[in-house]
Amino acid sequence: MGLLKSIFKARDKPQDRIAGSNYSFFFGGTTSGKPVNEHTVMQMTAVYSCVRILAEAVAGLPLHLYKYTSSGGKEKALNHPLYFLLHDEPNPEMSSFIFRETLMTHLLLWGNAYSQIIRNGKGEVIALYPLMPNKMVVDRDRNGRLFYLYQQSSEDAPTLGKDSQVYLYPSDVLHIPGLGFDGLVGYSPIAMAKNAVGLAMATEEYGAKFFANGAAPGGVLEHPGTIKDPQKVKESWNKAYQGSANSHRVAVLEEGMKYQPIGISPEQAQFLETRKFQINEIARIFRVPPHMVGDLEKSSFSNIEQQSLEFVKYTLDPWVIRWEQAISRSLLRPDEKKMYFSKFNVDGLLRGDYVSRMNGYATARQNGWMSANDIRELENLDRIPVELGGDLYLINGNMTKLADAGIFANKEGLEVKTE
């Protein structure tokens, strides 16, 4: 019974990302000694590339609001006010692409994406403004109801008012959580993999310092006697020979001094292999194929297309579903949820090469389940007028039912035997 109480108590009082993952971030410290947080990781090219790939992919997908028709089909809900917000302009300050790119970046780095919902007197959504995840706290009041507490700053939108802390109801927030432990608040992927990212940052800094030092390891100046001012000798040596600008200079040693290099070479330390592995490690965190971040070692013309299809299926689809369900849950009224739904169109990313598409269209056209206009819409071409047959569904005349073949034979005066 005590175990059940602890489980339900943990779920009844979710913590925001920063409070809930202090044990993981610990102010950004890692075993590699490099500070890791949502801002410093963007200086890593692999992290920046993965975040940009996923954020731009989700932002670039067509997003439509659909309505179920009486015939059981669906059509775009062009007259619904939410359609324009999702497809074109969620607020007067940004386009739909920028809005989704911003929230997706928050989701990938902080594990949560928040947006303030502005409604009119009818309860209709008229604007959406992004909120910074590191300023948001998710908690429950005394009655167990969720609420959002946002710490406002000068760069936030004026829609929040003038108070430093803004209390928001769940109906006022579009919240897209990532992977989490309680199903309510997501945890930062960067926090969960901080040591892997820290190691990548450390190897990158090591390489930069190595070449800044003239691509040579440190060393020791040996003197047969006693040096009166060793600091002066050290400064004189560094001034003359340290740095990439002074590399390959001829050193002049006096009074029997000898230079003894110390340290291990990058080859012995497997520097290049470590850097390459850490890039793949970061790509693994975000589930991005290595060839999309510039690692073509195990890619070829025969498998890149398949890897791209797997990227859509196993990487993008889970993020897209999070977006679609969060939009339906937070932006549609209860009576609208049975009539409307949002949908990202990923068909463009799943398309094959030109020859494969044309062969598929030919099969669909000849078997009567796609018209010329259906195909032209998928290829972003203008529709053929109805009077010219653009909406006709045709079938191959060589194929017919066996019963119809028998009827045709009887009309020709031939006897068809049936059992």
Q: CB neighbours of 253 closer than 8 A, spacing ≥ 6?
A: 221, 259
Is pLDDT above 60 for 324?
yes
In this structure, of 21-25, 108-112, 222-226, 297-301, the range with the lowest mean pLDDT score is 21-25
Q: Coil, strand or helix: which one is 124?
A: coil
pLDDT in tens, 143-198: 888 899 998 877 666 766 666 888 999 999 999 999 888 888 888 888 887 877 77
Distance of CA 181 to the CA centre of its chain: 20
Cα separation, 146 vs 301, in Å, equals: 51
Q: What is the pTM of this model?
A: 0.71
In the DSSP assignment, the letter for residue 332 is S
Q: CB neighbours of 255 closer than 8 A, spacing ≥ 6?
A: 223, 224, 225
Is pLDDT above 70 for 113?
yes
pLDDT of residue 12: 40
Output the six-digit token pair for 325.
């369900």
Q: What's the average model confidence in pLDDT over 381-391?
A: 86
pLDDT of residue 116: 94
On the 0-12 / 13-18 / 19+ scale of CB atoms within 10 A, 181 is middle
pLDDT in tens, 207-224: 666 666 554 556 665 666
The position carrying tokens 């945890």 is: 187
In the DSSP assignment, the letter for residue 314 is I
Is pLDDT above 90 for 127?
yes
Cα separation, 402 vs 415, in Å, equals: 15
| Percentages of the chain per state (helix, strand, coil), in multiples of 5 | 45, 15, 40
H-helix or E-strand spanning residue 407? helix 402-411
Cα separation, 24 vs 37, in Å, equals: 11
Distance of CA 74 to the CA centre of its chain: 28
